[in-house]
Chains A and B, each alone.
Chain A
Amino acid sequence: MDDKTKTAAGIAAGLQGMKYDDKRLAEIAAEVEILNDAVRKAAAARLTFDDDPAAFASVMAKEGK
């Protein structure tokens, strides 16, 4: 089991109370890595301290026809 799969195993058992076999944990770890990387890169390029999730609704209302 590699380090990322071990981390996933720790989250499953220790934090979420879910049981998965090693093969599935490795698949999940790989999937989560891709998603986390994408969000982290997009966030690093755009987000600042003052960014609020509710800004989405405001932008939609302001830009709306």
Chain B
Amino acid sequence: MRNEDLALEDLSAIADAIADGRITSVEATEACLARIEIWQPRTNAFLRVYKEKALAQARAMDAELKAGKRRGPLHGVPMAHKDMYYRKGELSTGGSKIRHDWKPDVTATVLGKLDAAGVVELGFLNMAEFAAGPTGHNVHHGHCKNPWDETRVTGGSSSGSGASVAARMVFGALGSDTGGSIRLPAAACGVVGMKATYGRVSRAGAVARSWSLDHVGPLTRTVRDNARLLGAIAGYDPDDSTTSEKPVPDYEALLEGGVAGMKIGLALPNGGPAPLDPKIGAAIQAAADALGKLGAKITVSKLPDFTALYRCAEVMVKCEAAAMHRPWMEKTPELYANQVRTRMEAGFFIPATQYIDALRLRAHFVAEFLSMAMDGVDAVLLPAIPFPIPTIEETDTETKGGPAVLKMVAGFTGLTRPFNTLGIPALSLPCGFDVNGAPIGLQLVGRPFDEAMLYRIGHAYQGATDHHKKVPV
């Protein structure tokens, strides 16, 4: 292995080393546990670490390999996941106080798939309460902290997923994305996050935020790792009627080939909830230039006005969240953080006709986006977060109110939430560092079910740059 500390290797290298016997799953798991011991006090990324269970699982995976049984390309790899994926009979808090002792009677489809693939489970990760919040604040379990600068936010809601992958505590993690909750922590923590097409990955057994907008997906250190992990969790699921029966491509096999001849539309939006910071814009432009040097043709993409897409998403999430949370909001409203409860309350007041129209508009929005922004291009390149990563203190809406704080927090999702309304795939990957030394993330957006194209572009970009190789110290 290249690194003395196995935890510094990426997922694919570790999986391949386990497969050919150069290391054991137990060794990989012990390396992660050692890393957790150092980084957990600094980041608060984990809500629960299952040390003994993980080591027992790792021993079982090693025994299977010794007996000639390899489950697949994730066999024996240690991971952890956002605390919103149900495992039958085990604690699952959803980052909340309300479910502090709740145990589900089903296992999430995606966890079942990872079990079958031989993944070792190190524990469950911090998250925004009920996946509501783009920063990583959590008043019940403690805020998650950015490994690059512990005073700064991780992005949310999959805060622990972003922080744990970035700090090399795990080789990969599942997150979920209703308005940017995979891509924001990926961008803020300097890792790779995929929100695949709506229907590509089952939501069964995952805490819902908005049934219409929720997407389950992986966070990893490299694009290759991400492609491998998405391949393991994607596909039709009879327990989630919104999943697609389209065959799942072998994403990893489609990574090579480069970008020569591809057309990529660059979009540097400078409106909406937050203006584009010049250094963020320059980093995205530099990424476009790097792809241009690799042979891609870079053009300018014209984005539609995101306001309607954003507002329609807000209508959907508020109405659906208010409906599912009503019993708790009536009986125990004090158990929510104020900023979580108040986000949902408008849902009780929005007319059903507006909610239905928001749903009816989605097909039009998709057609418009594909014919406008994606006309003649294979993917669109734009920033994930338009401003430098702020501190935990300056974005704390629980203790600091006021329009400026609320505007900054709303600005996080200005360039991510529209793609939840559209349901099309969006990949976030690191492309530099901001004025404070925190990561900058770019987004690649593609046509429905064209995750393979985004991975191919991202993989080529990572082959020519080293942002993803930098490790927080």
| B-contact bits for A19-38, CB 8 A (1 contact / 0 none) | 01000100011011011101
User: Which residues does chain A contribute within 8 Å of B351, judged by CB atoms?
Assistant: 36
Which B343-371 residues have C-beta < 8 A from chain A?
Answer: 345-346, 348-351, 354, 356-364, 366-367, 370
Contact B345 A39 (CB under 8 A): no
Which residues in chain A, 1-57, are within 8 Å of chain B measured between CB atoms?
A: 8, 11-12, 16-18, 20, 24, 28-29, 31-32, 34-36, 38-43, 46-47, 51-53, 55-57
Which chain A residues lie closer than 8 Å to B345 at the CB level? 18, 20, 24, 28
Name the residue among B308, B314, B363 with the largest chain A CB count within 10 angstroms. Answer: B363
State the Cβ distance, B447 to closest chain A Cβ, in Å. Answer: 6
A1 to B123, CA, bound (A): 51
Answer yes or no: B95 CB below 8 A from chain A CBs: no
| A30 to chain B: closest residue by CB | B346
The answer to whether A53 and B360 touch (CB under 8 A), given A59-B366, A63-B370, A64-B246, is: yes
Q: Number of A interface residues, CB 8 Å? A: 36
Check B363 against A43 for contact (C-beta < 8 Å): no
Which one, B308, B342, B363, B449, contacts A64 given CB within 8 A?
B449
Give Cα distance in the complex from A46 to B364, angstroms.
Answer: 7
A63 with B447, Cβ < 8 A, contacts A28-B349, A35-B350, A39-B315 known? yes
Contacts A17-B330, A60-B199 given; does A12 touch B348 at CB 8 Å: yes
| Bound Cα distance from A55 to B360, whole angstroms | 7
Q: Which of B312, B314, B363 contacts A51 (CB 8 A)?
A: B363
User: Which residues 415-470 of B sit at the A interface, judged by CB distance below 8 A?
Assistant: 423-424, 447-450, 452-453
**Are B348 and A39 neighbours in the complex by a CB distance under 8 Å?**
no
Query: How many B residues face the partner with a CB closer than 8 A?
Result: 43
By CB atoms of chain A within 10 A, which of B318, B346, B453 has the most? B346
- Smallest CB gap from A15: residue in B: B348
A64 near B197 (CB under 8 angstroms)?
yes
B198 close to A (CB within 8 Å): yes
Cβ contact within 8 Å between A65 and B449: yes
The reply to whether B350 and A36 contact each other, CB–CB distance below 8 Å, is yes
Contact present for A60 and B357 (CB under 8 Å): no
Of A24, A46, A58, which is in contact with the most chain B CB atoms at under 10 Å from its CB?
A: A46
Cα A44 to Cα B318 in complex, Å, equals: 22
A-B contact pairs, 14 of them (CB 8 A): A11-B348, A18-B348, A38-B311, A39-B308, A39-B361, A47-B357, A51-B363, A51-B364, A55-B360, A60-B449, A61-B246, A63-B366, A64-B197, A64-B246
Shortest Cβ-Cβ A-B pairs, 8 listed = A38-B311, A64-B449, A55-B363, A53-B359, A42-B308, A56-B362, A65-B450, A64-B448
Interface residues of B (CB under 8 A from A): 197-199, 242, 244, 246, 307-308, 311-312, 314-315, 318, 329-330, 342, 345-346, 348-351, 354, 356-364, 366-367, 370, 423-424, 447-450, 452-453
